[in-house]
Chains A and B, each alone.
Chain A
Amino acid sequence: MVEWLLEPLGYAFMQRGLLAAVVVGVVCALVGVFMMLRGMAFMGEALGHAVLPGLAIGYLASGGNRTITFFWALGTAILTSVVMGALSRTTKLRQDTAIGIVFAGMFALGIALISSIRSYAVDLTHMLFGNILGVTNGDMWMVLAASAAVILALVLFYKELTVIAFDPVLAVTLRLPVRGLDILLHVMIAVAIVVSLQTVGVALVVAMLLTPAATAFMLTKQLKRMMVIAALVAAFSGVAGLYASYYLNIASGAAIVLACTTVFVLVYIFRGRERSKVALQQKSPAG
């Protein structure tokens, strides 16, 4: 058993992959808790897909330099969230409609760009579905720095982000800088998405954001505990997924997401149904 666990660690690419999977998983889970509580699941899904043109342009402009590509993707994600917000504010469109329009358009632009440069398609496929075993030392430092920044921002603004998520009207009457904190949350989501592109890729990133948070939500009624549990679920799933990928020879991003989903399903079977039954009983009497 010990040998079975140690064998993959003999490879430097596996060491880096495991570290990346754990760090990225934890960051996504923590940001994902606020995303879930704010009901922003669709926004996360959309932002994940909308970075594709940024990746393609960054890749083309830099000739494959990953740092430059990272900032193109990040800039695209932030720009997209600003455009989505502006579109639903300046028209009568519901926010989910605005998100849908922008996200599909951006994703199509990304595919169009990729299709024009077939020779790069393999690397860009890695960005769609992740290529955690291709994480370099340079990538690792960038992931660590970006993750540290997100976690620091979460610690500093934890109480304000909590108030806005729970009661936006209270946040306004407390005269909190709601607009600025909303932008901060969007930027944190964008960073979390971009750092997870190498581990799970554009197509599956929403699972990294939501599944650990939803799993933790079924297990506790305290926000801080929920964040710790979500982080643990994500870290465990990152490691378990990567081992599964190593031994079963399946795609690493998909394996990590499936590990998350498995934990979610197990928790649902043993805890989730019980809790939701209680919630239903409380809601049923009128008033």
Chain B
Amino acid sequence: MQTPQGIHCSEHQAPFAVELREVNVHYGSTLALADFSLTIEHGVRVAVVGPNGAGKSTFFNLVSGLLNPTHGTVKVHGHNPGQYLCLAYVTQASQLDLNFPVNVWDVAMMGRMGKLGLLHRPGAADRALVHSSLERVGMLEFATRQIGELSGGQRQRLLIARALVQEAELLLLDEPFAGLDVPAQEQILKILDDVQAQGVTVLLATHDLELAAEHFDRVLLINRRCIAYGVAQEVLTPANLSAAYGGHMQVINTAEGRVLVGDSGGHHEHGTEGSHG
């Protein structure tokens, strides 16, 4: 459905949710992504992993249509991402102004603005959608709370509710687990199960390789280029990991399994396949 605001839900006519063909992105003279080709199926949950500065945010900016590739093409549900409306992008929470005078309900309702169109006010159907979306993420009881008064986990749940209000078919989450404790992470993973059951494709950037291997259908390993994409066992191999992390990570095979040893950043490297060194 084509409207002046953009293309609405496409009923999965395109073969892929996301398609990148030979994409290059330059920032001035630096190459942020090189020769990046990838297709992502409908309805999968993908963990996007790679070291700091690997281009995870650039990748998300491309898919969401915030950034145009220098070369190559990006398609979301077969469309140019800049025209595609059923896409939600939850940026890192640190980018929000927590003193902004809006409450939880207002923020969720913002997700509706694209489909409302200019000059239209939210109606009963819009309010019902905001209500049910906040309920699904367990944030309805905080509806009148100012956003600065929320915990990190509550804020992430609110932003996912806003994506539900957007009726997203493709959900991009940039580091939603950063700074969250384990119960808050599990709560969000449970909400993502619910979202995915509805057929939504989820792309989530994380530093946590263990989490990526355990809770995601696919892992996308990147470092300026697409190193590997597929199920975790095939992607998180010693060869791929050293290609992505280079000197920053060592892969050691032991009797109990595979162990990764990080030597930079220090706070985000974890072992895969349940074993730790």
Contact = CB atoms under 8 A, between A and B. Distances in A.
Interface of A: 37, 156-157, 159-160, 162-163, 165-167, 169-170, 172-177, 217, 220-223, 225-226, 279, 282-283, 286-287
Contacts, number: 91
Contacts of B197: none
Contacts of B66: 169, 172-173
Nearest to A221: B146
A160 B114 CA distance: 9
A287 B184 CA distance: 12
B101 A221 contact: yes
Interface of B: 5-6, 64-66, 82-83, 85, 87-89, 91, 95-103, 106-107, 110-111, 113-114, 116, 118-119, 121, 146, 148-149, 152, 162, 166, 178-181
A157 B118 contact: yes
B113 A287 contact: no
A165 B121 CA distance: 18
B179 A286 contact: yes
Given A167-B110, A172-B66, A282-B98, 13 more contacts: A37-B97, A37-B100, A159-B116, A160-B113, A165-B100, A170-B110, A170-B111, A173-B65, A173-B88, A173-B114, A217-B101, A225-B101, A226-B101
Nearest to B168: A173
Contact of B65 (A166, A172, A222): A172
A167 B96 contact: yes
B182 to A, nearest CB: 12
A286 to B, nearest CB: 7
Contacts of A172: 64-66
A260 B98 CA distance: 26
A287 B179 contact: yes
A162 B103 contact: no
Chain B CB within 10 Å, residue with most, of A167, A173, A222: A173
Contacts of A226: 101
